[in-house]
Structure 1
Amino acid sequence: MSAATPADGKAWRVFHGTGAVPDAGPVSLPEAPPWRRFRGGPTLPPPWDDEEAAGRRLGQVEPVPQLDETSIDTINAALQLRRPLLVTGPPGVGKSTLAYLIARELRLGRVLEWSIVSRTNLRDGLYAYDALGRAQSITAWRVGEPGSPGSYAVDAGPSQLLPTLGDFITLGPLGTALLPYDRPRVLLVDELDKSDIDLPNDLLHVLENGSYDVPELVRDKHDTMIVHTSDPGMRAEVRNGRVECREFPVVVITSNGEREFPAAFRRRCLPLEMATPSRAQLLAVLSNHFRALPPDAEALVDLFLERAASGGTHSLDQLLNAVQLTTANGLQNDDATRRLVEMLLRDLSKGL
């Protein structure tokens, strides 16, 4: 962070809500509080930037704030304290996009996404163990079939490799986020309110301690094992079956407000409620996605805000679709087009 005081006068801020990549390189994050410091190792190289995924979410970002002052302060507080953000609000207001905004502006690399459904459990986020695949590989190795994965020789001879346990373990999004990186990863836990009643409580230990054990690796005779991660093609070394972070990840947990979470879980998170973006924010979003503001954009933004103010459920994606359609080549501004716009901006709470 530059030593100069920023234009907003809040020198403690490292995140300004613009999503714009700083010219001076990665932003220096504040030192973690003593009670949120961890000592995991060995240190892993930084992840790559997935600009394609960020571009789909954010477009070509202009250096203007896309969030209100209160939201920006709350996000900076979460960064200072190394605590998860619990982001609530109606569907389609940009809750999950917030993770990409933070990752791009702070240059924290590829966002790890954990999408929650009713059957999701904690282990799904931490790791997966392909026991069947391992059994099949060991059977193939025993009968001398070539091509079985493995990384260490056995008594049968150096040309025969026994499949290692790590070949069949893949860390999930949460498990990968807790690997020992020098800079925090960004983890998006999307729609936690869709989970069963136990998952928020099951998360408490991991969110507090920044570590977890892989029991299969704890029981293995080898002290070190190489496993797959949620980053395509990447592996990581796990020692003694335990994964512990060096920097607690930036955790963005979204909820549509369909249920109340336990007090112990909420105590570990900073709450951030997102409402429908303002007119200026919506116009900024359109400028980012379309490079230049389309001719009828302001009228469509006003119509969208009018619909949102009247109640029901409306999504930012609906506005983007309406603007895209009305700016398509050859589309006439007639009754048929207006009917399409009405259909695109319909109240989603009323079904079809």
Structure 2
Amino acid sequence: MSAPDEAIGEGWRVFHAMGAAPSGAPPRLQPAPPWRRFRGGPPQPEPPDDEQAALRRLGDVDAVPQLDSDSIDTVNAALLLRRPLLVTGAPGVGKSTLAYLIARELGLGRVLEWNIVSRTTLRDGLYSHDALGRAQAIAAWRAGLYPDTAVGDSEGDEMRQPAPSLGDFITLGALGTALLPYDRPRVLLVDELDKSDLDLPNDLLHVLENGSYEIPELVRDTADGARVHTSDPGAFADIRQGRVECREFPVVVITSNGEREFPAAFRRRCLPLEMPIPTREQLLAIVDSHLRVRPPDAEELVDRFVQLVSDGGTHSLDQLLNAVQLTTARTFRADEGGRKLMQMLLRDLAKGR
């Protein structure tokens, strides 16, 4: 079989949208294209898992793929090409959940979340520097009040501790942590980028293209390296000469509710994915995975949800799960006194109250 034929075959697909964690060694990703290879170092240890967050988002695994075949192919193309996914679709359709689906199925560890608001800047995603905290710590150190400022050596003579390190007051953001030199890519969720300031997508271009960034405070520092905090709880990273470069470009899932268009230069660097409304079979599988049992009224509620969406309403998967969960309460009947409450839970979100 020729190389092009192999690329078309099943072997290039490592993601199948089943949501099952690997039972043994995690799947191996295809080598990155030559123009998407990076040489960052020193290598970071494997990231932690956060199965509780995955359970909240995905529930238990099921035998039904949570995406259609075209969407699965788009995700696999983004994984192979090391390009961000720009995921659009109706609110509540499961766009951000895709990041957790990829992370769990490929064994890529904890998802790094960068939630965007109108005031978010690129630096917020890369790192923060607590300049005031550092100034206070240095003042305390000079006054002899810094913790463990004075210690004794082996002969009982008092020795002065070094000044507080600059790295102690720098914390990498979700984007900055995702670009650390891991041997396997991290999963980064950039949620609701369309809510950002107009400049943020353009500011991201250099980082998305080059897989690297600098921390000016560390570049100007006289020390060759620094140990800084990361977005992972209790984790640290060694930064050399103030520059960070990835080894494997992260799996970047950028979500948008379609509230505005992005610049062409930004869209050129992403693969577009229009998140489809789940089918009836997929909705039942989602209900089963979260509730672990199928309540008697589940199928009727799923059918009602599908009809509401087909009629052009704006509805979220969260509404369906809330409605089905309520039917599991003792003595509650959706077809009797609870009918009005069910209508409220499954209301059209585009109509305000």
TM-score range, shorter chain: over 0.9
Could you tell me whether the CA contact under 8 Å between 2:170 and 2:229 is conserved in 1? Answer: yes
Aligned mates of 2:30, 2:84 — CA distance in 1:
16
Query: Structure 2: how far apart are the matches of 1:198 and 1:119?
Result: 11
In the alignment, what sits opposite 2:217?
Answer: 216
> Displacement of 1:149 after TM fit?
9.1
- Displacement after TM superposition at 1:333 (Å): 4.1
Query: 1:4: which partner in 2?
Result: none
- Aligned partner of 1:88 in structure 2 is 88
CA deviation string 1:201-250 (max 9, x = no partner) = 00000000000000000000001100000001000000000000000000
Specify the SS of the correspondent of 2:213: strand
Q: 1:171 corresponds to which residue? A: 172
What is the distance in 1 between the residues matched to 2:337 and 2:141?
A: 65
1:316-336 CA deviation, whole Å, 9 max, x = no partner?
Answer: 000000000011123234533
In structure 1, the partner of 2:108 is 108
Which sits farther off after the overlay, 284-293 or 221-230?
284-293
SS in 2 for 1:162: coil
The residue that corresponds to 1:153 in the other structure is: none
Deviation (angstroms), 1:22:
2.5
Q: What are the Cα deviations for residues 147-187 of structure 1, in whole angstroms up to 9, with x where unaligned? A: 1799xxxxxx7433311100000000000000000000000
1:239 counterpart = 2:240:
yes
Contact 1:18 1:66 in 2 (8 A): yes
The worse-fitting range, judged by mean Cα deviation, of 41-50 and 245-254 is: 41-50
User: Which residue of 1 is the match for residue 56 of structure 2?
Assistant: 56
Opposite residue 211 of structure 2, the aligned amino acid is: G
Q: 1:148/1:296 Cα in 2 relative to 1: closer, same or farther (>3 Å)?
A: farther
Taking the aligned partners of 2:38 and 2:210, their CA distance within structure 1 comes to 8
**Aligned partners of 1:334, 1:68: CA distance in 2, in Å?**
33
Per-residue CA deviation, residues 111-149 of structure 1 (Å, 9 max, x unaligned), is 000000000000000000000000110111111003179
For structure 1, which segment, 280-289 or 194-203, has the greater mean C-alpha deviation from structure 2 after superposition?
A: 280-289
Indicate the percent of aligned positions where both proteins have the same amino acid: 73
Q: Using a 3 Å threshold, how does the CA distance of structure 1 residues 43 and 139 change in structure 2: closer, same or farther?
A: same
Aligned equivalents of 1:200, 1:57: Cα separation in 2: 27
Cα distance in 2 for residues equivalent to 1:149 and 1:55: 45
TM-score (norm 1): 0.94
Q: Please name the residue that 2:293 is paired with.
A: 292
What code does the residue aligned with 1:121 have? T
Do structure 1's residue 65 and structure 2's residue 38 form an aligned pair?
no
Q: Is the contact between residue 149 and residue 167 of structure 1 (CA under 8 Å) also seen in structure 2? A: no
Q: SS in structure 2 opposite 1:261?
A: coil
Structure 2 unaligned spans of 5+: 1-7, 151-157
- The alpha carbon displacement at 1:9 in A equals 6.2
Distance 1:293 1:14, change over 3 A: same
The answer to whether structure 1 residue 187 and structure 2 residue 188 are counterparts is yes
Q: Does the 8 A contact of 1:326 with 1:337 survive in 2?
A: no
CA distance in 1, matches of 2:261, 2:302: 32
In 1, the alpha carbon distance for the partners of 2:63 and 2:222 equals: 53
How far apart in 1 are the matches of 2:43 and 2:103? 20
Aligned-residue offset at 1:268: 0.2
1:149 and 1:331, CA in 2 relative to 1: closer, same or farther beyond 3 A? Answer: farther
Aligned to 2:328: 327
Indicate if the aligned counterparts of 1:148 and 1:163 stay in contact, CA closer than 8 A: no
Equivalent residue, structure 1, for 2:75: 75
Once residues 140 and 256 of structure 2 are traced to their aligned partners in structure 1, the CA distance between those partners, rounded to angstroms, is: 46
User: By how many angstroms is 1:348 displaced?
Assistant: 0.7
Q: Look up the equivalent residue of 1:248 and give its one-letter code.
A: F
Match of 1:131? 131
* Alpha-carbon displacement from aligned partner over 1:69-103 (angstroms, at most 9, x marks no partner): 00000000000000000000010000000000000
For the residue of structure 2 that corresponds to 1:11, the secondary structure is: helix
Q: Aligned partners of 1:170, 1:245: CA distance in 2, in Å?
A: 17
TM-score (norm 2): 0.94
Query: What's the C-alpha RMSD, in Å, of the aligned pairs?
Result: 1.8
Note if 1:342 corresponds to 2:343. yes
Other-structure match for 1:117: 117
Give secondary structure in 1 for the equivalent of 2:125: helix
Change (3 A) 1:148 1:210: farther
Unaligned regions of 5+ residues in structure 1, if any?
1-7, 151-156
In structure 2, the residue matched to 1:140 is 140
Partner of 1:199: 200
